[in-house]
């Protein structure tokens, strides 16, 4: 019996040593990187609208968006380009009296748009981004007196910069909200022979949009 117990102990020792050696010889395998659950790459189109304002006046706008995203494979970083355009009703007016003559002047933006680059960080279904680039507006200045109106329209160019957040609420659909600051260069206007420079302009805007992504 004693010999059998000693033999069993020896066999157990050999099995334990062999098992330990086998474990030690197994190569270490690094876990593969986890790919993001949502992929933002591809073209998209959408509808957008919002409100633009400065320190004194404001107005609404609405239009469309087209863009393209590229998400670095296996990464949270997203790069893209976006083009949007909208009809608008953003205006300011003032009335002055010169004796018996009453003159009303109006400055109105009837359309606006931008071409911007985007860079963002995706957190699964959410994309936090900054954007900036070229901006333009179609602006008209008019003066009305004695029932007659004279006006002149110009395209102002400038830059815009801002950011926002976009959320993928369905496989091909996302919603976003963003804030943008826009600076526009001066233009020369001619109202019935009176030529003057408008000066530069700045305004802010808040926008919401719904986009469809082609996957």
Nearest to 165 by CA among 129, 131, 207, 132: 129
Nearest to 53 by CA among 105, 92, 104: 92
| DSSP calls for 33-63 | PPPPSS---EEEEEEEEEEEE-SS-EEEEEE
What b/e readout covers 19-53, taking b as 16+ CB neighbours within 10 angstroms?
A: eeeeeeeeeeeeeeeeebebebeeebebebbbebe
**In a 3-state reduction of DSSP, which class is residue 132?**
strand
Supply the pTM of this predicted model: 0.79
The Cα angle at residue 168 between residues 114 and 203, in degrees rounded to 5: 30
Q: State the architecture of 40-213 in CATH terms.
A: Beta Barrel (2.40)
* Model pLDDT, residue 33: 44
Under the banding of pLDDT at 50, 70 and 90, the label for residue 91 is confident
Question: Distance between CA atoms of 138 and 19, rounded to whole angstroms?
Answer: 79
| DSSP calls for 156-196 | EEEEEEEEEEEEEEETTEEEEEEEEEEEE---EEEETTEEE
* Model pLDDT, residue 14: 41
Nearest to 51 by CA among 90, 16, 22: 90
Give CA separation, 144 vs 65, 80, 107, 150, in Å.
Answer: 36, 45, 12, 7
Contact by Cβ (8 Å): 116, 129: no
* Model pLDDT, residue 152: 94
In this predicted model, what pLDDT tens digit does every residue of 29-62 receive, in sequence order? 554 444 456 789 999 999 999 999 988 889 999 9
Nearest to 138 by CA among 111, 108, 158: 111
| DSSP calls for 77-101 | EEEEEEEEEEEEEEEEEEEEEETTE
Residue 129 has pLDDT above 50, yes or no: yes
Q: What is the largest distance, in Å, between two alpha-carbon atoms of the chain?
A: 131
Average pLDDT, the chain: 86
Give the start-to-end residue ranges of the domains of the chain: 40-213
Question: Distance between CA atoms of 41 and 70, rounded to whole angstroms?
Answer: 4
* Model pLDDT, residue 189: 96
Under the banding of pLDDT at 50, 70 and 90, the label for residue 206 is very high
């Amino acid at each position: 019996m004693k010999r059998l117990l000693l033999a069993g102990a020896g066999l157990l020792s050999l099995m334990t040593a062999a098992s330990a050696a086998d474990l030690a010889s197994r190569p270490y395998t690094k876990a593969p990187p986890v790919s993001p659950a949502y992929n933002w790459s591809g073209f998209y189109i959408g509808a957008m609208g919002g409100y633009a304002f400065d320190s004194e006046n404001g107005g609404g706008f609405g239009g469309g968006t087209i863009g393209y995203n590229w998400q670095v494979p296996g990464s949270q970083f997203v790069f893209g380009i976006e083009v949007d355009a909208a009809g608008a009703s953003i205006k300011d007016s003032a009335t002055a009296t010169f004796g018996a003559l009453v003159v009303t002047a109006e400055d109105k933006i009837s359309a606006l748009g931008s071409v911007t680059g985007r860079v963002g960080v995706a957190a699964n279904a959410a994309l936090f981004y900054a954007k900036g680039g070229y901006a333009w507006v179609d602006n008209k200045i008019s003066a009305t007196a004695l029932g007659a109106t004279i006006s002149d329209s110009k395209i102002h160019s400038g830059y815009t910069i801002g950011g926002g957040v976009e959320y993928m609420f369905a496989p091909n659909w996302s919603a976003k909200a963003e804030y943008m600051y826009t600076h526009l260069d001066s233009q020369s206007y001619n109202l019935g022979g009176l030529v003057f420079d408008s000066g530069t302009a700045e305004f802010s805007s808040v926008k919401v949009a719904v986009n469809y992504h082609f996957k």
